[in-house]
């Protein structure tokens, strides 16, 4: 993967920019963190060189000045809302985030339950938090939010919310996912701080869209593709253009809400510190791109991956067809087709030649290897073995897993687990390979190549089992699949 982003420059410039914003407001800043704070894999895919934990690393440079407040919508707890990339509920992700932040030495003592209305599951979650020494605060729904500014900025609006006790100059407001109410928490805190006579400010750290890249830059288009389910649209910021005569990019929700925010700032602080939504941001990612061509190529691949993901979600019954349609339009605008993803055509050709599901993987050096379905292996398991052999320079005809290892696994699946399919999944073939590596130096050599599969591209001609999908994801393989199942069965595991 060609590097297009200077991560070290980003850590340095971003942390300094936040310090400057703290100073601007007299020593205290509420910073709304959009997107993923700890594991921003979208950013690492579209900005090659960006580390998934870059924002956390940047925060580490400010850890003596910062504390973290996690926000979660009580309705999301009640609905058992799941974080799609991790497959865990939002409430469990709160615990995960607290553990991760604390393991890095960051201060996190508080959780805010927004839209709180004594929901039973939220109350149970609150007791769990309090039992583990976490402070819990309640914020409530405000009628006609966000349009009735006079009510919102009053003792019957923000004034009814609990005031979150904080002690440091930088208060980072983050959440498990969108719709949690981060901005409202920040503004509520400003209201209370102002009543207490404390000077404090607000800023927003949203990586995408990148404000100082062109509107139709592939990185910004990839953000639209990633948020197609939210109906986010990138737009020229008209307020910034009017105030400064400069073209910048923001997204529709921030632009639409800005006049209301501006009025809230005026009522809370006496005057608004910002002239545009772009002014509110502190994102310096656009200044750290060192190879625009590499970044554009990576972002275009992300757009195609998002397109396939939307198609598959619709086939699975968990996504709307409009999402895939919207991303398809974005592809046309950027003159992209699925053939721009090299592994797609090769996997499809392999499937046509063998008459069975197939898979293809593109290695870091550009070589593309395939895997076909056999009585012994699924297509992706075969693809993995072929890739590891190639990376280890092991001849294709050499068996690196002893049949004596494979046969007991198949027997266990069929006779004890009741499976109708004796073929080995990716996790099973890797377990078999690791067992063989104990006594077989060739298998051990193949196992040593696993880290080289990270950030490779792969495509399968059918929707894979959850087991295969999770395994490839853990290996860091960027997978897409055709939106079709291998069989027409309705019940699937």
pTM of the model: 0.90
Q: Can you tell me the distance from the alpha carbon of 451 to that of 437, in angstroms, rounded to the nearest whole number?
A: 16
**What pLDDT, on the 0 to 100 scale, is given for residue 376?**
84
Q: Do β-strands 82-83 and 88-89 pair in parallel, antiparallel, or remain unpaired? A: antiparallel
Domains of the chain: 7-288 (3.10.630.10), 341-481 (3.40.140.40)
The pLDDT of residue 236 is above 90: yes
Average pLDDT in the 401-408 region? 81
Residue that wins the pLDDT comparison between 146 and 68: 68
pLDDT in tens, 262-297: 998 999 988 999 999 999 999 999 999 999 999 999
pLDDT in tens, 39-48: 789 999 999 9
**What pLDDT, on the 0 to 100 scale, is given for residue 224?**
95
The pLDDT of residue 492 is above 60: no
The pLDDT of residue 354 is above 60: yes
CA 325 from centre of chain: 21
Q: Which of 175, 198, 171, 199 is nearest to 186 (CA)?
A: 171
pLDDT interval class at 414 (50, 70, 90): confident
Q: What percent of the chain has pLDDT over 90?
A: 79
The pLDDT of residue 490 is above 60: no
**What pLDDT, on the 0 to 100 scale, is given for residue 275?**
96
Q: Can you tell me the distance from the alpha carbon of 354 to that of 97, in angstroms, rounded to the nearest whole number?
A: 46
pLDDT interval class at 489 (50, 70, 90): low
What mean pLDDT value characterizes the chain?
A: 93
The pLDDT of residue 190 is above 70: yes
Kindly tell me the burial class for residue 342, based on how many C-beta atoms sit within 10 Å of its own C-beta (0-12, 13-18, 19 or more): middle
pLDDT in tens, 90-120: 999 999 999 999 999 999 999 999 999 999 9
Tally Cβ neighbours within 10 Å of residue 320.
13
The pLDDT of residue 340 is above 90: yes
Q: Which residues, in sequence order, are CB contacts of 249 under 8 Å at separation 6+?
A: 209, 210, 211, 212, 213, 214, 215, 220, 234, 235, 236, 237
**What pLDDT, on the 0 to 100 scale, is given for residue 34?**
80
pLDDT interval class at 408 (50, 70, 90): confident
Q: Which of 243, 258, 252 is nearest to 220 (CA)?
A: 252
């Amino acid at each position: 993967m060609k590097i297009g982003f200077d991560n070290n420059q980003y850590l340095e410039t971003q942390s300094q920019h936040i310090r400057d914003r703290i100073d601007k407001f007299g020593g205290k800043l509420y910073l709304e963190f959009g997107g993923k704070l700890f594991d921003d894999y979208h950013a690492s895919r579209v900005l090659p060189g960006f580390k998934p934990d870059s924002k956390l690393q940047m925060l580490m440079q400010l850890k003596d000045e910062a504390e973290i407040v996690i926000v979660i919508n009580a309705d999301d707890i009640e609905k058992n809302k799941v974080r799609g990339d991790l497959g865990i509920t939002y409430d469990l992700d709160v615990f995960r985030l607290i553990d991760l932040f604390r393991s890095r030495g960051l201060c996190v003592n508080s959780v805010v339950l927004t839209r709180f209305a004594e929901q039973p599951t939220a109350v149970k979650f609150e007791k769990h938090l309090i039992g583990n020494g976490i402070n819990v605060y309640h914020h409530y729904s405000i009628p006609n939010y966000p349009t009735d500014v006079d009510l919102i900025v009053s003792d019957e609006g923000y004034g009814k919310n609990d005031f979150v006790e904080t002690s440091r100059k930088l208060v980072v407001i983050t959440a498990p996912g969108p719709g949690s109410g981060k901005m409202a928490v920040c503004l509520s805190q400003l209201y209370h701080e102002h009543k207490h006579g404390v000077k404090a400010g607000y800023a927003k750290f949203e990586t995408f869209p990148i404000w100082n890249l062109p509107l139709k830059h592939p990185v910004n288009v990839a953000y639209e593709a990633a948020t197609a389910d939210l109906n986010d649209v990138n737009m020229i910021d008209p307020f910034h253009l009017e105030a400064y005569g400069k073209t910048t990019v923001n997204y529709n929700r921030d632009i639409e809400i800005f006049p209301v925010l501006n009025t809230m700032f005026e009522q809370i602080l006496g005057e608004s510190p910002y002239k545009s939504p772009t002014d509110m941001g502190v994102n310096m990612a656009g200044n750290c791109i060192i190879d625009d061509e590499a970044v554009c190529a990576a972002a275009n691949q992300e757009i195609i991956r998002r397109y396939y993901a939307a198609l598959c979600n619709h086939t699975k019954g968990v996504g709307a067809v409009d999402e895939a349609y919207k991303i398809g339009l974005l592809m046309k605008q950027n003159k992209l087709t699925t053939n721009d993803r090299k592994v797609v055509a090769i996997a499809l050709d392999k499937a046509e030649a063998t008459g069975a599901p197939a898979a293809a993987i593109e290695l870091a050096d550009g070589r593309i290897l395939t895997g076909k379905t056999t009585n012994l292996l699924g297509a992706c398991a075969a693809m993995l073995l072929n890739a590891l052999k190639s990376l280890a320079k092991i001849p294709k005809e050499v068996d690196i897993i002893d049949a004596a290892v494979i046969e007991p696994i198949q027997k266990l699946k069929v006779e004890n687990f009741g499976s109708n399919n004796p073929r080995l999944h990716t996790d099973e073939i890797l377990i078999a390979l690791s067992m063989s590596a104990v006594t077989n130096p060739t298998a051990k050599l193949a196992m040593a190549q696993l880290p080289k599969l990270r950030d490779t591209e792969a495509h399968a001609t059918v929707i894979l089992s959850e087991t295969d999908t999770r395994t490839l994801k853990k290996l860091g393989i960027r997978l897409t699949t055709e939106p079709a199942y291998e069989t027409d069965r309705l019940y699937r595991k």
